[in-house]
Amino acid sequence: MLKKIVYTLVFVFSCGVLMAQESVDSVALESDSLLMLEISDSTLCLQLDSQVILPLPLDTILHDYFVEKSFQIDCERADSGAIYYSDSVYMARLQSMPHIMEMTYNRVVKACIERYARCPKDVGYMLGIGNTYYFPMFEEALERYNVPLELKYLPVIESALNAKAKSPVGAMGLWQFMVGTGKIYGLEVNSMVDERRDPRKASDAAACFLADLYKLYGDWHLVIAAYNCGPGNVSKAIRIANGKRNFWEIYPYLPRETRSYVPLFIAANYIMNFYEEHNMCPAVPMFNYATDTVMISDRVHLQQIAEKVNIPLDELKFLNPQYRYDIIPGNIKPYPLVVPFEHINSYALNRDSILAYKPELAKREIKFEPSEGEVIYYKVKSGDTLGGIAKKYRVSVKNLQKWNKLKSTTIRVGQKIKIYK
Protein backbone atom coordinates (compact mmCIF):
# COMPACT_ATOMS: atom_id res chain seq x y z
CA MET A 1 0.00 0.00 0.00
CA LEU A 2 1.10 3.54 -0.52
CA LYS A 3 3.63 4.24 2.20
CA LYS A 4 3.99 7.97 1.56
CA ILE A 5 2.09 10.38 -0.55
CA VAL A 6 3.09 13.84 -1.69
CA TYR A 7 0.10 16.10 -1.30
CA THR A 8 1.21 18.26 -4.21
CA LEU A 9 0.57 15.38 -6.60
CA VAL A 10 -2.55 16.68 -8.24
CA PHE A 11 -3.25 13.25 -9.71
CA VAL A 12 -5.17 12.48 -6.51
CA PHE A 13 -8.38 13.57 -8.15
CA SER A 14 -11.59 14.31 -6.37
CA CYS A 15 -13.03 10.90 -7.04
CA GLY A 16 -16.66 11.78 -6.74
CA VAL A 17 -16.34 14.56 -9.30
CA LEU A 18 -13.80 13.03 -11.62
CA MET A 19 -15.40 9.62 -11.83
CA ALA A 20 -18.78 11.17 -12.62
CA GLN A 21 -17.24 12.98 -15.57
CA GLU A 22 -15.11 10.22 -17.00
CA SER A 23 -15.15 6.52 -16.21
CA VAL A 24 -12.10 4.33 -16.52
CA ASP A 25 -11.95 2.76 -19.95
CA SER A 26 -11.91 -1.01 -19.96
CA VAL A 27 -8.76 -2.55 -21.30
CA ALA A 28 -9.50 -4.69 -24.32
CA LEU A 29 -8.64 -8.34 -23.77
CA GLU A 30 -6.26 -9.45 -26.45
CA SER A 31 -5.83 -13.04 -27.48
CA ASP A 32 -2.20 -13.01 -26.36
CA SER A 33 -2.90 -11.25 -23.07
CA LEU A 34 -1.16 -14.07 -21.21
CA LEU A 35 2.50 -14.05 -21.98
CA MET A 36 5.22 -16.56 -21.30
CA LEU A 37 7.75 -13.85 -20.55
CA GLU A 38 11.33 -14.99 -20.78
CA ILE A 39 13.47 -13.30 -18.16
CA SER A 40 17.06 -12.72 -19.13
CA ASP A 41 17.93 -9.86 -16.80
CA SER A 42 20.27 -11.22 -14.14
CA THR A 43 19.02 -8.75 -11.54
CA LEU A 44 15.52 -10.15 -11.94
CA CYS A 45 16.53 -13.80 -11.90
CA LEU A 46 18.30 -13.38 -8.58
CA GLN A 47 15.01 -12.47 -6.94
CA LEU A 48 13.01 -15.51 -7.90
CA ASP A 49 12.67 -18.57 -5.76
CA SER A 50 14.22 -17.50 -2.47
CA GLN A 51 13.03 -13.90 -2.23
CA VAL A 52 9.27 -13.87 -2.77
CA ILE A 53 8.36 -11.15 -0.30
CA LEU A 54 4.88 -10.91 1.17
CA PRO A 55 3.74 -7.43 2.34
CA LEU A 56 2.45 -9.16 5.51
CA PRO A 57 2.94 -12.78 6.66
CA LEU A 58 0.50 -15.07 4.86
CA ASP A 59 -0.84 -16.42 8.14
CA THR A 60 -1.87 -12.95 9.36
CA ILE A 61 -5.56 -13.90 9.26
CA LEU A 62 -5.00 -16.87 11.55
CA HIS A 63 -4.04 -14.51 14.37
CA ASP A 64 -7.64 -13.32 14.45
CA TYR A 65 -9.06 -15.55 17.19
CA PHE A 66 -12.62 -15.11 16.00
CA VAL A 67 -11.80 -16.22 12.44
CA GLU A 68 -9.85 -19.23 13.65
CA LYS A 69 -12.67 -20.47 15.87
CA SER A 70 -15.50 -19.53 13.46
CA PHE A 71 -14.20 -21.31 10.37
CA GLN A 72 -13.43 -24.97 10.02
CA ILE A 73 -11.35 -26.70 7.39
CA ASP A 74 -12.85 -30.16 7.01
CA CYS A 75 -10.90 -31.56 4.12
CA GLU A 76 -8.70 -34.64 4.01
CA ARG A 77 -7.00 -33.37 0.87
CA ALA A 78 -5.52 -30.39 2.75
CA ASP A 79 -2.91 -32.64 4.42
CA SER A 80 -1.76 -34.38 1.26
CA GLY A 81 1.17 -32.05 0.60
CA ALA A 82 1.85 -29.37 -1.98
CA ILE A 83 1.08 -30.15 -5.61
CA TYR A 84 2.96 -28.43 -8.43
CA TYR A 85 2.39 -28.41 -12.18
CA SER A 86 4.33 -27.75 -15.36
CA ASP A 87 4.66 -24.33 -16.95
CA SER A 88 2.24 -25.25 -19.69
CA VAL A 89 -0.47 -26.16 -17.17
CA TYR A 90 -0.05 -22.92 -15.22
CA MET A 91 -0.15 -20.93 -18.46
CA ALA A 92 -3.27 -22.66 -19.74
CA ARG A 93 -5.11 -22.14 -16.46
CA LEU A 94 -4.23 -18.44 -16.29
CA GLN A 95 -5.39 -18.03 -19.88
CA SER A 96 -8.69 -19.75 -19.11
CA MET A 97 -9.67 -17.27 -16.37
CA PRO A 98 -12.00 -14.40 -17.31
CA HIS A 99 -9.77 -11.35 -17.00
CA ILE A 100 -9.12 -7.86 -18.29
CA MET A 101 -5.73 -7.44 -16.65
CA GLU A 102 -2.79 -9.13 -18.31
CA MET A 103 -1.94 -12.37 -16.50
CA THR A 104 1.72 -12.66 -17.38
CA TYR A 105 3.43 -15.95 -16.67
CA ASN A 106 7.15 -16.31 -15.96
CA ARG A 107 9.49 -17.78 -13.38
CA VAL A 108 8.64 -15.08 -10.83
CA VAL A 109 4.91 -15.78 -11.08
CA LYS A 110 5.58 -19.52 -10.87
CA ALA A 111 7.56 -19.05 -7.65
CA CYS A 112 4.66 -17.05 -6.19
CA ILE A 113 2.06 -19.64 -7.21
CA GLU A 114 4.07 -22.37 -5.55
CA ARG A 115 4.52 -20.17 -2.47
CA TYR A 116 0.74 -20.21 -2.05
CA ALA A 117 0.56 -23.92 -2.92
CA ARG A 118 2.64 -24.69 0.16
CA CYS A 119 0.13 -22.99 2.49
CA PRO A 120 -3.18 -24.91 2.21
CA LYS A 121 -4.48 -23.89 5.66
CA ASP A 122 -3.85 -20.17 5.12
CA VAL A 123 -5.35 -20.23 1.63
CA GLY A 124 -8.30 -22.25 2.93
CA TYR A 125 -9.14 -19.65 5.56
CA MET A 126 -8.83 -16.82 3.03
CA LEU A 127 -11.08 -18.66 0.59
CA GLY A 128 -13.66 -19.24 3.30
CA ILE A 129 -13.85 -15.71 4.63
CA GLY A 130 -13.36 -14.19 1.18
CA ASN A 131 -16.05 -16.09 -0.69
CA THR A 132 -18.46 -15.89 2.22
CA TYR A 133 -18.09 -12.25 3.18
CA TYR A 134 -15.39 -10.04 1.68
CA PHE A 135 -15.14 -10.76 -2.07
CA PRO A 136 -18.74 -9.79 -2.91
CA MET A 137 -18.20 -6.56 -0.97
CA PHE A 138 -14.99 -5.85 -2.89
CA GLU A 139 -16.68 -6.56 -6.22
CA GLU A 140 -19.45 -4.05 -5.49
CA ALA A 141 -16.90 -1.31 -4.78
CA LEU A 142 -14.75 -2.11 -7.84
CA GLU A 143 -17.83 -2.23 -10.05
CA ARG A 144 -18.86 1.27 -8.93
CA TYR A 145 -15.62 2.72 -10.33
CA ASN A 146 -15.41 0.48 -13.40
CA VAL A 147 -12.24 -1.17 -12.11
CA PRO A 148 -11.36 -4.78 -13.10
CA LEU A 149 -12.92 -7.25 -10.69
CA GLU A 150 -9.69 -9.25 -10.59
CA LEU A 151 -8.50 -6.60 -8.15
CA LYS A 152 -10.75 -8.09 -5.48
CA TYR A 153 -7.78 -10.34 -4.71
CA LEU A 154 -5.48 -7.42 -3.91
CA PRO A 155 -6.30 -7.59 -0.16
CA VAL A 156 -5.18 -11.24 -0.21
CA ILE A 157 -1.61 -10.01 -0.57
CA GLU A 158 -2.11 -6.72 1.28
CA SER A 159 -3.56 -8.06 4.52
CA ALA A 160 -4.33 -11.78 4.11
CA LEU A 161 -7.96 -10.61 4.55
CA ASN A 162 -7.47 -9.44 8.13
CA ALA A 163 -9.43 -6.20 8.64
CA LYS A 164 -7.27 -5.28 11.64
CA ALA A 165 -3.94 -6.04 9.98
CA LYS A 166 -1.30 -3.39 10.63
CA SER A 167 1.98 -3.19 8.76
CA PRO A 168 5.30 -2.26 10.41
CA VAL A 169 5.01 1.23 8.89
CA GLY A 170 1.45 1.84 10.07
CA ALA A 171 -0.66 0.86 7.04
CA MET A 172 -3.97 -0.48 8.30
CA GLY A 173 -6.89 -2.66 7.32
CA LEU A 174 -7.83 -4.98 4.48
CA TRP A 175 -6.50 -2.54 1.88
CA GLN A 176 -3.57 -1.28 4.00
CA PHE A 177 -4.16 2.47 3.86
CA MET A 178 -1.76 4.89 5.50
CA VAL A 179 -3.46 7.63 7.52
CA GLY A 180 -2.77 10.41 4.99
CA THR A 181 -3.94 8.48 1.96
CA GLY A 182 -6.99 7.22 3.81
CA LYS A 183 -8.06 10.74 4.74
CA ILE A 184 -7.58 11.97 1.16
CA TYR A 185 -10.03 9.29 0.09
CA GLY A 186 -12.59 10.16 2.73
CA LEU A 187 -11.75 7.70 5.51
CA GLU A 188 -12.21 8.96 9.05
CA VAL A 189 -9.27 8.27 11.36
CA ASN A 190 -9.33 9.51 14.95
CA SER A 191 -8.90 8.24 18.50
CA MET A 192 -12.23 6.41 18.50
CA VAL A 193 -12.87 5.42 14.87
CA ASP A 194 -10.52 4.11 12.18
CA GLU A 195 -12.39 3.63 8.91
CA ARG A 196 -9.31 2.11 7.31
CA ARG A 197 -10.53 -1.00 9.15
CA ASP A 198 -14.11 -0.60 7.89
CA PRO A 199 -14.41 -3.23 5.11
CA ARG A 200 -17.04 -1.34 3.10
CA LYS A 201 -15.69 2.18 3.35
CA ALA A 202 -12.08 1.12 2.84
CA SER A 203 -13.08 -0.94 -0.22
CA ASP A 204 -14.80 2.08 -1.76
CA ALA A 205 -11.76 4.26 -1.05
CA ALA A 206 -9.40 1.65 -2.52
CA ALA A 207 -11.48 1.30 -5.71
CA CYS A 208 -11.46 5.08 -6.12
CA PHE A 209 -7.70 5.22 -5.54
CA LEU A 210 -7.06 2.44 -8.08
CA ALA A 211 -9.21 4.24 -10.66
CA ASP A 212 -7.23 7.44 -10.10
CA LEU A 213 -3.92 5.59 -10.50
CA TYR A 214 -5.13 4.13 -13.79
CA LYS A 215 -5.71 7.64 -15.08
CA LEU A 216 -2.09 8.37 -14.27
CA TYR A 217 -0.48 5.24 -15.77
CA GLY A 218 -2.99 3.61 -18.13
CA ASP A 219 -1.56 0.19 -17.23
CA TRP A 220 -3.00 -2.04 -14.50
CA HIS A 221 0.32 -3.65 -13.56
CA LEU A 222 1.81 -0.22 -12.96
CA VAL A 223 -1.33 0.74 -11.05
CA ILE A 224 -1.00 -2.04 -8.51
CA ALA A 225 2.77 -1.48 -8.27
CA ALA A 226 2.03 2.18 -7.44
CA TYR A 227 -0.62 1.06 -4.95
CA ASN A 228 2.10 -0.83 -3.13
CA CYS A 229 5.05 1.55 -3.19
CA GLY A 230 3.54 4.88 -4.23
CA PRO A 231 3.37 6.66 -7.59
CA GLY A 232 6.62 8.48 -6.85
CA ASN A 233 8.62 5.25 -6.80
CA VAL A 234 6.95 3.92 -9.96
CA SER A 235 7.51 7.18 -11.84
CA LYS A 236 11.14 7.18 -10.69
CA ALA A 237 11.59 3.61 -11.98
CA ILE A 238 10.08 4.65 -15.33
CA ARG A 239 12.58 7.51 -15.60
CA ILE A 240 15.53 5.25 -14.79
CA ALA A 241 14.27 2.76 -17.42
CA ASN A 242 14.37 5.52 -20.05
CA GLY A 243 10.61 5.99 -20.15
CA LYS A 244 9.64 2.33 -20.48
CA ARG A 245 6.15 1.78 -19.06
CA ASN A 246 6.03 -1.99 -18.68
CA PHE A 247 6.21 -3.49 -15.19
CA TRP A 248 8.69 -6.17 -16.19
CA GLU A 249 10.98 -3.67 -17.88
CA ILE A 250 11.09 -1.38 -14.83
CA TYR A 251 11.17 -4.35 -12.42
CA PRO A 252 14.87 -4.01 -11.38
CA TYR A 253 14.37 -0.34 -10.45
CA LEU A 254 11.38 -0.82 -8.15
CA PRO A 255 11.57 -1.28 -4.35
CA ARG A 256 12.35 -4.86 -3.39
CA GLU A 257 8.91 -5.62 -1.95
CA THR A 258 7.13 -4.20 -5.01
CA ARG A 259 9.02 -6.55 -7.33
CA SER A 260 7.09 -9.41 -5.74
CA TYR A 261 3.82 -7.53 -5.66
CA VAL A 262 2.51 -7.93 -9.22
CA PRO A 263 3.65 -11.58 -9.42
CA LEU A 264 1.93 -12.26 -6.08
CA PHE A 265 -1.23 -10.62 -7.39
CA ILE A 266 -1.26 -12.86 -10.46
CA ALA A 267 -0.53 -15.86 -8.25
CA ALA A 268 -3.36 -14.93 -5.88
CA ASN A 269 -5.77 -14.79 -8.83
CA TYR A 270 -4.54 -18.23 -9.87
CA ILE A 271 -4.77 -19.92 -6.46
CA MET A 272 -8.19 -18.45 -5.66
CA ASN A 273 -9.52 -19.99 -8.87
CA PHE A 274 -7.60 -23.29 -9.00
CA TYR A 275 -7.33 -24.23 -5.33
CA GLU A 276 -9.06 -27.59 -5.88
CA GLU A 277 -6.34 -28.63 -8.31
CA HIS A 278 -3.86 -28.11 -5.45
CA ASN A 279 -5.92 -30.15 -2.94
CA MET A 280 -7.08 -27.06 -1.05
CA CYS A 281 -10.51 -26.55 0.50
CA PRO A 282 -12.28 -23.34 1.56
CA ALA A 283 -12.85 -23.08 5.30
CA VAL A 284 -16.51 -23.50 6.22
CA PRO A 285 -18.07 -20.69 8.30
CA MET A 286 -19.77 -21.69 11.53
CA PHE A 287 -22.33 -18.88 11.35
CA ASN A 288 -24.42 -16.99 8.79
CA TYR A 289 -22.64 -14.01 7.23
CA ALA A 290 -25.83 -12.31 6.01
CA THR A 291 -25.88 -8.87 7.64
CA ASP A 292 -27.78 -5.62 7.82
CA THR A 293 -26.67 -2.13 8.84
CA VAL A 294 -28.35 0.26 11.27
CA MET A 295 -27.30 3.78 12.23
CA ILE A 296 -26.45 4.51 15.87
CA SER A 297 -27.06 8.00 17.28
CA ASP A 298 -25.97 7.35 20.87
CA ARG A 299 -22.69 6.50 22.54
CA VAL A 300 -22.86 2.76 23.09
CA HIS A 301 -20.46 -0.10 23.75
CA LEU A 302 -20.58 -3.20 21.55
CA GLN A 303 -20.84 -5.34 24.68
CA GLN A 304 -24.14 -3.63 25.61
CA ILE A 305 -25.58 -4.56 22.21
CA ALA A 306 -24.11 -8.06 22.19
CA GLU A 307 -25.52 -9.04 25.56
CA LYS A 308 -28.96 -7.50 25.11
CA VAL A 309 -29.45 -8.85 21.58
CA ASN A 310 -27.71 -12.17 22.29
CA ILE A 311 -25.00 -11.81 19.65
CA PRO A 312 -21.55 -13.25 20.45
CA LEU A 313 -19.34 -10.26 21.26
CA ASP A 314 -16.47 -11.58 19.11
CA GLU A 315 -18.84 -11.79 16.16
CA LEU A 316 -20.02 -8.21 16.63
CA LYS A 317 -16.42 -6.98 16.94
CA PHE A 318 -15.50 -8.82 13.75
CA LEU A 319 -18.35 -7.19 11.84
CA ASN A 320 -17.47 -3.72 13.20
CA PRO A 321 -13.66 -3.55 13.34
CA GLN A 322 -13.49 0.23 12.85
CA TYR A 323 -14.31 1.04 16.48
CA ARG A 324 -10.94 1.12 18.24
CA TYR A 325 -12.25 0.61 21.78
CA ASP A 326 -15.51 -1.16 20.86
CA ILE A 327 -17.39 2.07 21.58
CA ILE A 328 -19.60 3.66 18.92
CA PRO A 329 -19.45 7.47 19.46
CA GLY A 330 -22.93 8.00 18.04
CA ASN A 331 -23.51 10.96 20.34
CA ILE A 332 -21.16 12.96 18.08
CA LYS A 333 -22.77 11.92 14.80
CA PRO A 334 -24.59 8.81 13.53
CA TYR A 335 -22.31 5.81 12.93
CA PRO A 336 -23.11 2.46 11.27
CA LEU A 337 -23.48 -0.80 13.13
CA VAL A 338 -23.35 -4.05 11.17
CA VAL A 339 -25.60 -6.69 12.71
CA PRO A 340 -26.17 -10.33 11.70
CA PHE A 341 -29.40 -10.40 9.71
CA GLU A 342 -30.92 -13.04 11.97
CA HIS A 343 -30.62 -10.63 14.93
CA ILE A 344 -31.96 -7.48 13.31
CA ASN A 345 -35.48 -7.90 14.72
CA SER A 346 -34.10 -8.55 18.18
CA TYR A 347 -32.01 -5.40 17.92
CA ALA A 348 -35.06 -3.35 16.91
CA LEU A 349 -37.06 -4.71 19.87
CA ASN A 350 -34.27 -4.02 22.37
CA ARG A 351 -33.02 -0.74 20.93
CA ASP A 352 -34.34 1.48 23.72
CA SER A 353 -33.27 -0.84 26.53
CA ILE A 354 -29.70 -1.25 25.24
CA LEU A 355 -28.63 2.21 26.44
CA ALA A 356 -29.95 1.53 29.94
CA TYR A 357 -28.11 -1.80 30.15
CA LYS A 358 -24.67 -1.48 31.78
CA PRO A 359 -24.35 2.20 30.78
CA GLU A 360 -20.98 2.39 32.55
CA LEU A 361 -19.44 0.45 29.65
CA ALA A 362 -20.00 3.32 27.23
CA LYS A 363 -19.23 6.03 29.79
CA ARG A 364 -16.03 4.62 31.21
CA GLU A 365 -12.87 6.60 30.74
CA ILE A 366 -10.56 5.21 28.11
CA LYS A 367 -7.02 4.90 29.40
CA PHE A 368 -4.57 5.71 26.66
CA GLU A 369 -1.43 3.76 27.38
CA PRO A 370 1.69 3.73 25.20
CA SER A 371 1.20 0.90 22.74
CA GLU A 372 3.47 -0.66 20.18
CA GLY A 373 0.60 -1.93 18.06
CA GLU A 374 -1.64 -4.97 17.89
CA VAL A 375 -0.17 -7.95 19.70
CA ILE A 376 -0.03 -11.51 18.39
CA TYR A 377 1.53 -14.62 19.89
CA TYR A 378 3.72 -17.10 18.05
CA LYS A 379 4.23 -20.61 19.40
CA VAL A 380 7.81 -21.75 18.92
CA LYS A 381 8.22 -24.90 16.83
CA SER A 382 11.17 -27.23 16.46
CA GLY A 383 13.88 -25.59 14.35
CA ASP A 384 12.73 -22.02 15.05
CA THR A 385 15.23 -19.33 15.92
CA LEU A 386 14.57 -15.86 17.28
CA GLY A 387 16.19 -14.41 14.17
CA GLY A 388 13.96 -16.50 11.92
CA ILE A 389 10.81 -15.41 13.76
CA ALA A 390 11.95 -11.77 13.56
CA LYS A 391 12.47 -12.09 9.80
CA LYS A 392 9.09 -13.76 9.26
CA TYR A 393 7.18 -11.00 11.07
CA ARG A 394 9.48 -8.22 9.90
CA VAL A 395 10.54 -7.02 13.33
CA SER A 396 13.95 -6.80 14.97
CA VAL A 397 15.49 -9.43 17.25
CA LYS A 398 16.14 -6.64 19.75
CA ASN A 399 12.43 -5.82 19.92
CA LEU A 400 11.50 -9.50 20.34
CA GLN A 401 13.88 -9.67 23.28
CA LYS A 402 12.41 -6.48 24.75
CA TRP A 403 8.77 -7.53 24.33
CA ASN A 404 9.40 -10.97 25.84
CA LYS A 405 11.98 -9.94 28.47
CA LEU A 406 14.57 -12.27 26.96
CA LYS A 407 18.17 -11.86 28.14
CA SER A 408 19.49 -13.89 25.22
CA THR A 409 18.29 -15.21 21.86
CA THR A 410 17.66 -18.69 23.26
CA ILE A 411 14.07 -19.92 22.88
CA ARG A 412 12.41 -23.28 23.56
CA VAL A 413 9.84 -25.36 21.69
CA GLY A 414 6.32 -24.51 22.85
CA GLN A 415 7.26 -21.07 24.15
CA LYS A 416 4.86 -18.28 23.20
CA ILE A 417 6.56 -15.23 21.70
CA LYS A 418 4.77 -11.89 21.96
CA ILE A 419 4.96 -9.84 18.75
CA TYR A 420 3.64 -6.32 18.22
CA LYS A 421 2.41 -5.53 14.69
Residues forming the active site: 158
d(Cα 277, Cα 70) in Å, to the nearest integer?
A: 25
d(Cα 305, Cα 311) in Å, to the nearest integer?
A: 8
The three-state (H, E, C) secondary structure of 127-144, written as one string: HHHHHHHHHHHHHHHHHH
Alpha-carbon 137 to chain mean position = 13
Residue 300 bridge partners (DSSP) = 328
Helix or strand or coil: residue 77?
A: helix
Determine contact, residues 102/112, Cβ cutoff 8 Å.
Answer: no
Per-state percent for the chain, helix, strand, coil, to nearest 5: 50, 10, 40
Distances (CA, A) of 294 to 130, 165, 260, 297: 23, 25, 40, 10
Q: In one letter, which amino acid is 420? A: Y
Residue 223 bridge partners (DSSP) = none
- The C-alpha R_g of the chain, in whole angstroms, comes to 22
Of 141, 150, 54, whose CA–CA distance to 102 is shortest? Answer: 150
Contacts with 212 (C-beta within 8 Å, 6 or more apart), sequence order: 11, 12, 13, 15, 18
N-to-C CA span, the chain = 16
Q: In one letter, which amino acid is 80? A: S
Alpha helix (H) ranges present in 274-343? 302-309, 313-319
Of 362, 334, 340, whose CA–CA distance to 293 is shortest? Answer: 340
Is the C-alpha dihedral spanning 240, 245, 250, 253 positive or negative?
positive
